[in-house]
Amino acid sequence: MNFYTERLWFNTKKHREYINITSEVGHILAKSGFKDGMILVSAMHITAGVYVNDAESGLIQDIDDWLEKLAPFNPNYRHHRTGETNGDSHLKSLLIHHEVIVPITDGKLDFGPWQQIYYAEFDGQRKKSVLVKVMGE
């Protein structure tokens, strides 16, 4: 098995953002030249995540509302005693998770209908990266 690695970099304008990175991941796959294998997409920060779902604006807002309901901003998080104010961002990241693996077939991301890869930022406005590691042949 062979490996090819690149990073995507983000510095979002908003505190919370959901960015469709499917085409960028597809470009990295094309550069790798691999025809069969897997691609790992991993947020390299503890207040961000990566997920696969539909690229529909209503659903993206529903996901954001759901995450805010499950892990709302709360000034009383114990984490805030360290001087940080992003306890909810850490919890949102746990709910979304930090990585996905997508199969590669015939040199393409092998998705089901409507599936797209998203970078989810929960504590933005600073530079963060996503690791993209292509594994295959």
114: amino acid identity, one letter: W
Rounded Cα gap, residues 56 and 101, in angstroms: 21
pTM: 0.95
In the chain, the domains with their CATH numbers are: 2-136 (2.60.120.460)
**Per-residue CA distances from 125 to 16, 106, 112 (Å):** 9, 37, 32
The pLDDT, as a whole number, for residue 104 is 98
Rounded Cα gap, residues 41 and 130, in angstroms: 7
pLDDT in tens, 27-46: 999 999 999 999 999 999 99
The pLDDT, as a whole number, for residue 51 is 98
31: helix, coil or strand?
A: helix
Nearest alpha-carbon partner for 94 in 51, 65, 137, 31: 51
pLDDT band at 126 (very low <50, low <70, confident <90, very high): very high
